[in-house]
Amino acid sequence: MRILRYIIILFFLISTYACGTQKKAVGENEQKEQGQSADEIVLSEDKEIEFEYLFIEGLKQKMLGNNDAAVQYFNGCLDINPNSAASLHELAKIYVSKGEIVSAKLLLEKAIQIEPGNKWYKLLLARIYQNNNEYAKASQIYTELLGNDPDNVDYLYRKAVLMASSDEPAEAIEVYDELERVMGYSEQIALARQNLYLQMGQEKKAFAEVQKLIDTYPDVPEYYGVMADMYKETGNMDKALEYYNKVLEMDPSNGFVHFSLASFYLQNNNIEEGYQHAREGFSNPDVEIETKIQLYLMLVNAPEDIRIEDEKLETLIGLIVEAHPDDARSYSIFADYLMQNGRKSEARGYMLKSLEVDPDNYPVWEQLILIDSEMEDFEKMAAHSDKAIQLFPSQPLVYVLNAVANIQLENYGEALSTLENGQLYVTDNKRMEAQFELYRAEAYYNLNEKDKAFSSFEKVIEIDPENFMAMNNYAYYLSVLGVELEKAENLSSKVIQANPKNATYLDTHAWVLFQKGEYRLAKFYMDTAMENGGGESVEVVEHYGDIYYKLDDVENALKYWKQSLEMGNESPVLKRKIEEKKYIEGEE
């Protein structure tokens, strides 16, 4: 029975879409009544049967989602009858679904030429025009449709919106007037006209439109708020404040008017009054969090002279959390604020709260793991990236971050395993591919598989010729081993040319020169490294002492070795240098 019913449905569609224009010739007057053109093609019985078969198959394939096959069948229909508007319409719908808008437009325009009275063809074409920002053309279609159905509210409304969008505000107002005649006075129509009058610079008419709303609905506080906003925008601050206070008087719990008043007072340099109203708005759970976020961003980016101080701003964000404890965004906003103020540990706590509410928010997971890295909390970084991999197994970056954490924890085998598992998801992303290879190189090097490590470094540089981290680390490891020092120097030279004030890269270049015995030149680069923050690194400071020793300055050598030790360098080789007061070879 299901098969029989399916066939009946298809034949019903055929009778609706196809046969009506092909079985017989009709008179010109009758054609006009049916919305058909006079250029009708009369098919032989065999061609008619073939046409109907192809049309049914096209509909069937379309219903099954086989659009390419459906296109072939409908094209076959057009081979038999180029004037089949129904076939053109079906093809147009398929092309719309595929995003091929130009083809869909051409097909529908031809279909309408053949059947100018078919409203369904016109409605689809109007939608396409509107989505393509061709508002005037879309508006014209609704004008044509209104010719046959002048009181159609939907057509009138859509035409008004389109005329407003096509920069024809006066004509749009006329359509809204007609719409009001059909459906009666309404807020939607009044506010639409008010906006159009403002767009035309006719402020008196805009005010009159809102006043009519107030007169018609005197107990609705929102209309007084609209009036207040208009007075504020036109610079009449006294009247604006009068109407804002009227809203507050009518509805003391209205959080939105508190936000309007907060904005009003801040713009007029009354910071304290603005803050107090902001507090009222932020603490109101009935105001959507989106509105609060918008005001928060306005406060954060406000000019310095009207900015709320940080302590009060933090209070406002805390009120968002209190009012919306089940919305993950409230915790994310607080985390962002804390990050901007350098309070990473507290920010991490709020990110975790955000993820408790919404564990499927990938950007927050990514930010959390990066904070772990900045805080050098590699245990947490490994744990959080493990969880992120479980939740988002197709995100390659979390595999890289997990590998970084494991390398820092000296779990080199686990890092390699993670990179292997994540490699599958690296597609058409050369930079990401380079990152995978870079940390593979680091893991291999620390597992004493030097050849594999150097092979991976070569791959990174081939994939990403400007990956300075890879070039720097490769050069440094070559220098530590004392091999291919010319290659190491060439790599390091490229790095410092692009990054002349990076202390780590300058230290590497100095160390390559040190290994080549060019101690005076090595000191020049190490001096520059120390001037650019190198003194904060125990390795750089120790290397500085090594260079002084090779320049026969034992006093300064001991000074910097001891400084490195005091900074937390626990290298046994360093302790021997200090005890024996001489440079001692030792792998870094």
**pLDDT at residue 40, rounded to an integer:** 64
SS3 235: coil
SS3 375: coil
* CB neighbourhood size of 374 (10 A): 12
* Owner of token pair 């202390």: 503
> Of 325, 326, 327, 318, which is closest to residue 346 (Cα–Cα)?
318
Tokens (6 digits) for 529:
């490294």
Each of the 588 residues of the chain gets a pLDDT tens digit; together they read 333 333 333 333 433 444 434 433 333 333 333 444 445 678 788 888 888 899 999 999 889 889 899 999 999 999 988 989 999 999 999 988 888 888 888 998 999 889 888 989 888 888 888 888 888 888 888 888 888 888 788 888 888 788 777 778 888 888 888 888 878 888 888 888 988 888 888 999 999 989 999 999 999 888 988 998 898 888 888 898 888 889 888 988 788 888 888 888 888 888 888 888 888 889 988 888 998 888 888 888 877 777 788 888 999 999 999 999 999 999 999 999 999 889 999 999 999 999 999 999 999 999 999 999 999 999 999 999 999 999 999 999 999 999 999 999 999 999 999 999 999 999 889 999 999 999 999 999 999 999 999 999 999 999 999 999 999 999 999 999 999 999 999 999 999 999 999 999 999 999 999 999 999 999 999 999 999 999 999 999 999 999 999 999 999 999 999 999 999 998 999 999 999 999 998 654
Is residue 349 in a domain? Answer: yes
pTM, rounded to two decimals: 0.65
* Owner of token pair 């096959």: 69
Is residue 13 in a domain? Answer: no
Is residue 300 in a domain? Answer: yes
**pLDDT at residue 46, rounded to an integer:** 83
Is residue 531 in a domain? Answer: no
* Owner of token pair 């024809």: 168
Is residue 570 in a domain? Answer: no
* Owner of token pair 């009058």: 197
Domain that holds residue 271: 253-358
> Of 162, 210, 203, which is closest to residue 189 (Cα–Cα)?
210
> Of 280, 286, 287, which is closest to residue 258 (Cα–Cα)?
280
Number of domains in the chain: 1
Is residue 208 in a domain? Answer: no
Is residue 285 in a domain? Answer: yes
CATH of the domain at 319: 1.25.40.10
Is residue 21 in a domain? Answer: no
